[in-house]
Structure 1
Amino acid sequence: MAYKKAFIPYGGYWSSPFCRWQGSFSHLHSMVFAAEICTQALTEKKLDPEIFDEIILGMTVPQKSSFYGAPWLAALMGSPGITGPVIGQACATSAKCVSLAAAELELGNNETVLVVTCDRTSNGPHIYYPNPMGIGGKGDAEDWVWDNFNRDPYAKIAMIQTAENVAREVGVTKEEQDEVAVMRSEQYQDALKDNNAFLKKFMVQPVEVKDSSGRKVIATVHGDEGVFRTTAEGLAKLRPALKDGTVSFGTQTYPADGNASLIVTSREKAQELSPEKNIEIQLCSYAEARTKKGFMALSIVPAARKALSIAGIDVKDVAAIKTHTPFAVNDVYFCKEMGTRPQDMNNYGCSLVWGHPQGPTGTRLIIELIEELVLLGGGYGLFDGCAAGDTSAAVVLKVDVK
């Protein structure tokens, strides 16, 4: 879908740090935590929470009382008069939420939409499904996070096997994956320079983490937690996770906890809300794609090509690219097919480095894409990422710095 009326105010976005699962955020209710981060960000940016016409909530891991979805979250953050849907499209959740918000602007339904994406992969729910036809009436059980990581009910394989399938089909070696993983680790170091200058452009920090009572501070998180420095020597020593495979634990991401949000509004309202009147951010297009069963990463190329085509540009016209990278295989394949170089994408890091909370992963990548384009003086940007079910979603945006 192409967009003409959807804009993002410069600075109209924010993210919590991302923490590796079972880390400092592992006990926090993801929706309540997202509301706290939104409230803090809106206060710091001097934005009234009642400016929003609609809220779109993206999350993939149920939490207690998440039945009440976006209306509850809106009330928690001081916007009790608005409502909106809950979107869960696996790792493509963020892109779909942004697309839906942009569509609301195109249709004239709303003028200022808040997209909030959040998830906690830690301590995922253990779900019991009643089955009166079971032996003795015994029901079925599911570990929401762990079981779905390890088995696609259609392809009947784990996520990591899809990466191995792609590596085998297109000829991606362990050495190529190791090289990309080291590069992404080094790119993230640029985000930490000058006392985390890049991250401070959008990340709410520090975050005081309280106990279950909500009174006692038990930790203070100053930035992403769980990131490890990757070296060529270290990766060379790691064996593939699967027998006869190529993907090691060092060339795949890890589950994480966190949230990220952004505002989608009209051109005029974006200008009003932006602290930098010379910067304009326009959403241009959205596309999604699906590939053959069990080859998830193959879907990223058709999604990217479709989004670029809808926007009326070529990949050569793109100044910056950010990808959700659950496996280094993804970036190796993307570059081979799209004619790009690994070093020309994912500057300042990506989900391969700072983890994958699922729902908010793409939102943070889109935010980082915007900030990189501003540093470059403007241009087109492409976000692309695969998702469960052998699918992908891509977003094209444009930044003008006047």
Structure 2
Amino acid sequence: MSNIAIPYGAYWSTPFVRWQGSFAHLHSLKFAAHVAKGALQKRKLDVGVFDHAALGLSVPQKGVFYGMPWLAAQLGSESLTGPTISQACATGVRLIQSVASTLREGDATVALALAADRVSNGPHVYYPAPDGPGGTGEHENWVLDNFNCDPNTGCNMLKTAENVAAEHGLTTQQQNELTLLRYQQYEEALKDDSAFLKRFMDLPFSVPDARFKREKAVLQGDEGIFPTSAEGLAKLKPVMEGGTVTFGGQTHPADGNAGMVLTTPERAAELSRDRKVGIRLVSFGQSRVRAGFMPAAPGPAAQRALAAAGLKAGDLAAIKTHNPFIVNDLVMSKELGIDARKMNRFGCSLVWGHPQAPMGIRGVIELIEELVITGGGYGLFVGCAAGDSAMAVIVKVQDES
């Protein structure tokens, strides 16, 4: 994968907004096109440079059947096309892998990866059953019903966290201590008028109305993050009776979108904000653990990515995780032999939320920027996903001056 590059600065993310917030009225694909169009213009990237694109999403919207071709048309391209990728919370990394594979096979030279989800106001789906009793079919609330029940195991996602916490003997106090640190790490991203976020997020962020004609609101950053203290966390009771996981130790559903350009090293230098910064994709890893133990999946996925790269955990200069539960980080740090306190500098999805498809793209972007700030090296992003699975990616940032 070392022949696949990401031009420095050729990526972006919206703020992430807690569901039913400032993005709840926006069609996720139309919104993604709106944001991408502005982001490309600001980065002086013409849509005509792309010969491949792919879309990642996990919550359907009206018209999504037409996927990337429709989104590309909104960007002003009637020739750009590509697949739609969906793998719950692993969608972002899977999307990057899919685009990278297309580039590696020589089917494209400059590609665009866009991921978008609006978890707010998710669709209510009816499945006709003409042969059923009275002809009545089945229905589901796409978001809430699937959060609450894995059709394979019958348990909800919180139960998977409790299963893993029980197996590893993790207490609420342990979870609270690391949760508090994660919020303190996010505070570093907000320093100096959100200087870290402004490296990839166009702030202040103008929120359009549903017709994309007028400005409805202006955001200074992520929306819906509650102030968190040790005392506040200690007051929270476990959500499940007899359990250990509180609302403080888990993430929240959110809305947003993100994009990234992938290409060859030669074209990356041409499209980069800074030619001296080289960013390469190194390897990927995936895993699936036993049923009902989702938060344990990141460790094996990370180990596979490390093995594919010929690296050890100690070779990593930075680690970012998707942690819907703080349990994820506690277990993976134990399995990889790393200090959980040294992961997730500048924040993570536990804090800024969980819009599923774009979440992994933002995680990789933040990983890249952390490596640029700290002088380069190898970085790992990994996160779990529905179905007790996980995806991991390793990138390398180096000085190419």
Tell me the TM-score range normalised by the shorter chain.
over 0.9
Match of 1:261 among 259, 262, 265: 259
Q: Do the aligned partners of residues 15 and 164 (structure 1) sit closer, same or farther apart at CA in structure 2, a change above 3 Å counting?
A: same
- TM (norm. structure 1) is 0.98
Secondary structure of the structure 2 residue equivalent to 1:322: strand
Corresponding residue SS for 2:341: helix
Q: What is the CA deviation profile of residues 356-383 of structure 1, one whole-angstrom value per residue up to 9, with x for unaligned ones?
A: 0000001000000000000011000000
Gaps of 5+ in 2: none
Aligned to 1:101: 99
Q: Whole-Å Cα distance in 2 between the matches of residues 401 and 315 of structure 1? A: 22
Q: What does residue 353 of structure 1 align with?
A: 351
Residue 202, structure 1, aligned to residue 200, structure 2: yes
> Contact 1:328–1:352 at 8 Å: present in 2 too?
yes
Partner of 1:163: 161
Task: Report how far residue 172 of structure 1 moved.
Answer: 1.1
Uncovered stretches (5+) of structure 1, i.e. residues with no partner? none
Note if 1:62 corresponds to 2:60: yes
**Is the Cα–Cα contact under 8 Å of residues 320 and 367 in structure 2 kept in the other structure?**
yes
Cα distance in 2 between the residues matched to 1:215 and 1:344: 44
Offset of 1:106 from its aligned partner? 1.3
Whether the 8 Å contact between 2:27 and 2:210 is mirrored in structure 1 is no
Q: Distance in 1 between matches of 2:54 and 2:25?
A: 24
Tell me the secondary structure at the aligned position of residue 7 of structure 1: coil
- The answer to whether the 8 A contact 1:374-1:401 is kept is no
Cα shift readout 1:209-264 (whole Å, capped 9, x = no counterpart): 23334334321122100112211110100000001011100110000000011011
Which residue of 1 is the match for residue 302 of structure 2? 304
**Structure 1 residue 287 displacement after superposition:** 1.1
Report the residue type matching 1:223 in the other structure: G
Does the 8 A contact of 2:128 with 2:136 survive in 1? yes
Q: Is contact 1:325-1:351 (8 Å) kept?
A: yes
- 1:102-147 CA-partner distances (Å, limit 9, x unpaired): 1112111111110000000000000110011222101111000000
| CA distance in 2 between partners of 1:213 and 1:283 (Å) | 37
CA offset digits 1:12-66 (Å, max 9, x no partner): 1000110000000001000111111111111111111111111110000000101
Matched, 1:271 2:269: yes
- The answer to whether the Cα contact below 8 Å between 1:188 and 1:348 also exists between their aligned partners in 2 is yes
Q: Which residue in 2 is equivalent to 1:128?
A: 126
Question: How far did residue 208 of structure 1 move?
Answer: 2.3
Query: What does 1:1-400 correspond to in 2, within 5 Å?
Result: 3-400=1-398
Query: 1:5·1:105 contact (CA, 8 Å) conserved in 2?
Result: no
Q: Distance in 1 between matches of 2:329 and 2:193?
A: 28
For 2:386 and 2:62, how far apart are their aligned partners in 1? 24
Q: Deviations over 1:300-344 (max 9, x none)?
A: 111000000101111100000000010000001111111111221
Find the aligned partners of 2:6 and 2:319 in 1 and give their Cα distance.
18
C-alpha distance in 2 between matches for 1:197 and 1:220: 18
> When the two structures are superposed, what TM-score results if normalisation uses the length of structure 2?
0.98
Question: Could you tell me the percent identity over the aligned residues?
Answer: 53
Q: Distance in 1 between matches of 2:212 and 2:110?
A: 31
Mapped contact 1:37–1:204 kept (Cα < 8 A): no
Cα distance in 1 for residues equivalent to 2:68 and 2:105: 21
C-alpha separation between the residues in 1 aligned to 2:337 and 2:2? 28
After the TM superposition, list the runs of 4 or more consecutive aligned residues in structure 1 that deviate by more than 6 angstroms.
none
CA RMSD of aligned residues (A): 0.9
- Report the AA paired with residue 75 of structure 2: M
What is the rounded CA distance, in whole Å, between the counterparts of 1:213 and 1:36 in structure 2? 11
- Judge conservation of contact 2:10–2:273 (CA < 8 Å) in 1: no
> Per the alignment, do residues 216 and 271 of structure 1 end up closer, same or farther by CA in structure 2, a change over 3 Å counting?
closer
Distance in 2 separating the partners of 1:199 and 1:357: 17
Question: Using the alignment, how far apart are the partners of 1:167 and 1:76 within structure 2?
Answer: 45
Structure 1 stretch displaced more, 222-231 or 60-69:
222-231
8 Å CA contact 1:241–1:249 kept in 2: the answer is: yes
Counterpart CA distance in 2 for 1:392 and 1:257 is 21
Cα distance in 1, alignment partners of residues 211 and 318 from structure 2: 44
**The 10-residue stretch of structure 1 (386-395 or 43-52) with the greater mean CA deviation from structure 2:** 43-52
Length, aligned pairs only: 400
